[in-house]
Amino acid sequence: MKVFFLNPAFKAEYGKFSRENRSPTVTRSGTLYYPLWLIYAAAVCEKDGFEVEFLDAPAFPMNDDQTYEYIKQHADGTKLFVVNTSTPSIVNDTAYGDKLKELYPDVFVMLVGTHPSAMPTETLENSKSIDAVARHEYDYIVRDVARAIRDGNDPFAIKGLTYRKDREIKENPDMPFIENIDEIPFLSEFVKKHLNYKDYFFAAGEYPEIQIFTGRGCMARCTFCVYPQTMHGHGYRMRSAENVVAELEYIAKNFPDVREIVFEDDTFTILKDRVIKICKLMIQKGLHKRFRWLCNARVNLDLETMQIMKKAGCHLIIPGIESGSEEILKNIHKGTTLKQVHQYCENAKKAGLMVHACYMVGNEGETGETMQKTLDLALKLNTDTAQFYPLLPFPGTKSYEWAKSNGYLQGGYTDYVKEDGTINSLLNLPGLSGEEMVAFCDMARKKYYMRPSYILHRLWMGIKDPQDLKRSLKAFNKIKKFLLK
């Protein structure tokens, strides 16, 4: 029996739509994430003995008609379609699932992802014929549905499903989170077999790169962050250090030209002892000489840990700084302070680590004055790179509840991105429109990257590290039309 996993086409005429971004979009830097959740679920099914077909349409990119032709050529034996989704593309994704059901009426069609996890009943109500959606972490939900279909049992009985049966929409209890994350197969093994790793690009890292999770969940309570609130919860469930390093050894052996590992955990550095253990094992096995790596790292990361990370091959850390206003940091339950932010950036320089800082505007309490504070902070910190985004309050998050209840959210799901697939803003706050926030982010990005001192700094970094120059030029080539207009 075959299980067919699909990351459908969306905005293909404008570029590669990246559903796995925390704000799904056609990125201005050319970044395209691996469809991580979908890959892990497919790997679980393959490990369980199922034949697996995997199509990541944005990686090519393909349009809908091209994907239907591909499916036609590879669908023999398929009993289950698993379709990836996101909020900006959900109308398209739902129509895509309906089309699959029309073409293959005897095949079970399931939607997965953050949006149907947050809005399962609404998603099925907006569909004509999709059988079910899987809520939250769906690796074992998909596997168990596949088992039920194969064995002649009732697939609608599986935990974690919201489903359509006898023209009614019904909901089962949640599937428990996976506790033993070491049971999940290596993502890199699946990539080796089914995908082309050179189709993916992470603007802040070297090319080519591979992204993996070393754990799931996030203990932070940020109101805007979609993955902990819709997919994997607030408990951090970790792979063992030995398991993580074993996968790095596999990558080193099987991907000789991969230059970067991206640890895509929401907060890879949240437990110091585990980070140090991973780093020591990497050094012991010589992996720190094989490739560089980067990770998301909250601003409570200390200097000692930064220093051993640097020795183990880390070159870049990515903090969510978010705002230059203490009041806004409190409003969004960030759990950090500006004092920590300054200390973090100072320590990163001491440790020799680059910093890619993430800033956002539009949270509770935002004004023109607080946005300027954020830009002033970004210019003062002067990190190696930075990004500026308007808040996109996704269904399932506290930010969405806040925006919706106050009448600040204007527009539908298709308005989360512009016609060209780039990020939009649906928020209109008192005294601050969505257009103004998008314009501010464009201005801030331009002001940050077009400073003569910054350009000279990047050139100097490129002289010292030709690979960094190559990466910077590749990203600049993608973003220049937005910076220069």
DSSP secondary structure string for all residues of 62-127: --HHHHHHHHHHH-TTEEEEEEE--TTTHHHHHHHHHHHHHH-TTSEEEEESHHHHHSHHHHHHT-
Distance CA 189, CA 102 (A): 33
CA 348 to chain CA centroid, Å, is 24
In DSSP notation, 243-260 reads HHHHHHHHHHHH-TT--E
Structure-block tokens of residue 255: 């991907």
Please tell me the predicted confidence (pLDDT) of residue 455: 86
Q: Which residues of 295-309 are buried (b: 16+ CB within 10 A; e: fewer)?
A: bbbbbbbeeebbbbb
Closest-CA residue to 162 (of 106, 127, 129, 124)? 124
Exposed, middle or buried: residue 166 (CB in 10 Å: 0-12, 13-18, 19+)? exposed
pLDDT of res. 228:
97
Q: What pLDDT is attached to residue 204?
A: 87
- Alpha-carbon span 17 to 27, nearest angstrom: 7
- Kindly tell me the sign of the dihedral angle through the C-alpha atoms of 344, 350, 353, 354: positive
Q: How far apart are CA 142 and CA 429, in angstroms?
A: 40
Question: How far is 297 from 332, CA to CA, in rounded Å?
Answer: 18
pTM, whole model, 2 decimals? 0.94
Structural domains of the chain, with CATH: 2-171 (3.40.50.2300)
Residue 320: both structure tokens together? 């969510």
Instruction: Give the pairing of strands 51-56 and 2-7.
Output: parallel
What's the average model confidence in pLDDT over 70-89?
98
Residue 423, SS3 per DSSP:
strand
pLDDT at 481: 57
Residue with tokens 């314009």: 439
Q: How confident is the model at residue 50 (pLDDT cuts 50, 70, 90)?
A: very high
Amino acid at 23: S
Rg (CA), the chain: 22
Q: Which pLDDT tens digit goes with each residue over 386-439? A: 999 999 999 999 999 999 999 999 999 999 999 999 989 999 999 999 999 999
Q: Helix count (H) and strand count (E) of the chain?
A: 18, 16
Mean pLDDT (whole number) for 119-138: 98
Mean pLDDT of the chain: 95
Phi and psi at residue 242, to the nearest 5°: -65, -40
The partner residues of 318 in beta bridges, in order of sequence, read 296
- Phi first, then psi: give them for residue 20, nearest 5 degrees: -80, -10
- List all residues 6 or more positions away from 167 whose beta carbon is below 8 Å from its beta carbon: none
Cβ-contact 206, 260 below 8 angstroms: yes
Instruction: Give the pLDDT confidence of 59-70 residue by residue, as tens digits.
Output: 999 999 999 999
Condensed to tens digits (0 to 9), the pLDDT of residues 438-475 reads 999 999 999 999 999 898 877 776 776 766 656 555 55
Q: What is the C-alpha to C-alpha distance for residues 312 and 399, in angstroms, rounded to an integer?
A: 37
Q: Give the closest residue to 251 by CA, choosing from 290, 200, 196, 207.
A: 290
Strand partners, 260: 209, 292
pLDDT at residue 479, as a whole number: 56
Position 29 scores a pLDDT of 86
* Nearest Cα to Cα of residue 309 among 329, 322, 295, 319: 295
Q: Is the pLDDT of residue 143 over 70?
A: yes
Q: Is the pLDDT of residue 254 over 70?
A: yes
